[in-house]
Amino acid sequence: MYDYRVMRININLPDLDAFVTASERGSFRAAAEALCISQSALGRRIEKLEGVLGVRLFDRDTRNLELTVTGREFARKARHVLGELEGALLTTQDIAQHLTSEVTIACVPSAVGRFLPSVVKRYHDTYPNIRIQIRDEPSSEILSTVTNGIADFGVTYLGTQEPDILFQPLVEDPFVLICPRNHPLAFKREVKWSELEGYDYIAIARTSGNRVIMDLALFGTQLSLRQYCEVQHFSTLVQLVQAHAGIGVIPRMGLPSGISREIATVPLVEPTIFRRLGLVKRRDRPLDAAAQLLYDLMASTCSNLR
């Protein structure tokens, strides 16, 4: 049996379409009329295709046009190829221009501020008829939002151990020290966690997923921070540090985009702690086309942040 796979890269789609149309219409005249080309142009396309394949596809005389045995086999394959291509093109055009749908994503607030705006703009420019709903939620709520089907997928740093959740890592986000610009630690290239002892320390609440990550990483280090204040949100912590009320630690992506010049950020070491940000979705439920497009765009955008 002739193996057509080795020839597929040399076949021109208009030639393939001419062959399929001629095989279905049973004559060059009818096929040429259907394709709005001359019979001679159609004949040249068929001859070119036969030359590429190295086989005769039609037995033809002045009155009859019949497929050869090889031609019948190739016609079946060619119709399948053209059908698949047409379906793919229609699907893409439908999503881009005609689909009216809604995608809901749940996202930790720090990720919203870092890269989500650019992703949403690019997505809307390409698929203007798809509505986007963004739920900026704490990490502890995002998993349940996705699991319960309230959101199509989520962006968070928790979920790697959940059996019903598929976690796709995107970026590693290190925790950094934030302090006033005139603070003694602000002039260091890096700061050890032990060097934070002795300074007024403002902490993120124990209920925060970020606090859990830090506490687990620091467990057993005998670190004794002079914590006198606890807050729920990064924005509150930043404002307190700006007011010279103390120092604090937050993920780098948690820094507001327009952070004041009064704030310094310094890498923390011994230990270096980071959170792994990723996309989460249900294992048992594939995303629909609109959600998958946004999921893929977000994945490719985040890969550039590594």
Enumerate the domain spans of the chain. Answer: 4-98, 101-169+276-303, 173-275
CATH number of this structure's domain 173-275: 3.40.190.10
Region 3-20 average pLDDT: 66
What's the pLDDT at 305? 53
Name which of 108-122, 218-232, 244-258, 288-302 the model is least confident about: 108-122
CA atoms of 125 and 139, how far apart (whole Å): 29
Mean pLDDT, the chain, whole residue set: 83
Is the torsion defined by CA of 94, 95, 97, 98 positive or negative? positive
Q: Count of CB atoms within 10 A of residue 86's CB?
A: 10
What's the pLDDT at 2? 43
Candidates 137, 138, 144, 7; CA nearest to 78 is: 7
Tokens at 2, concatenated: 């002739």
Region 267-288 average pLDDT: 89
Instruction: Return the H-helix or E-strand segment holding 93.
Output: helix 69-93
pLDDT digits (tens, 9 = 90+) for 53-69: 888 888 876 567 788 88
Q: What is the DSSP letter of 12?
A: -
Choose the CATH number for 101-169+276-303 among 3.30.70.2860, 3.20.20.410, 3.40.190.10, 3.30.499.10.
3.40.190.10
Does pLDDT of 267 surpass 90? yes
Q: Count of CB atoms within 10 A of residue 126's CB?
A: 13
Name which of 45-59, 81-95, 133-147 the model is least confident about: 81-95
CA atoms of 214 and 189, how far apart (whole Å): 21
CA 76 to centroid of chain Cα atoms? 36
Does pLDDT of 11 surpass 80? no
Is 101-169+276-303's fold the same as 173-275's?
Answer: yes
The beta strand positions in 7-160, using DSSP E, are 58-60, 65-67, 101-107, 130-136, 153-156
Q: Of residues 301 and 48, which shows the higher confidence score? A: 48
Does pLDDT of 5 surpass 50? no
Tokens at 6, concatenated: 């080795």
Using only C-alpha atoms, what is the Rg of the chain?
Answer: 31
Question: Class assignment of domain 4-98?
Answer: mainly alpha
CA atoms of 202 and 276, how far apart (whole Å): 23
What's the pLDDT at 258? 65
- Among residues of the chain, what percentage have pLDDT more than 70? 85
Q: Give me the torsion for CA of 259, 261, 263, 265, rounded to 10°.
A: 80
Q: Give me the torsion for CA of 28, 33, 36, 40, rounded to 10°.
A: 30
pTM over 0.85: no
CA atoms of 222 and 271, how far apart (whole Å): 12
What's the pLDDT at 108? 86
Does pLDDT of 84 surpass 80? no
Tokens at 160, concatenated: 């790697």
pLDDT digits (tens, 9 = 90+) for 190-234: 999 999 998 999 999 988 888 988 999 999 888 999 999 999 888
pLDDT digits (tens, 9 = 90+) for 148-182: 889 999 998 866 667 788 888 888 889 999 999 99
CA atoms of 70 and 180, how far apart (whole Å): 79
Region 84-101 average pLDDT: 57
| DSSP 3-state of 5 | helix
Region 181-185 average pLDDT: 94
Tokens at 140, concatenated: 């502890």
Q: What is the DSSP letter of 216?
A: H
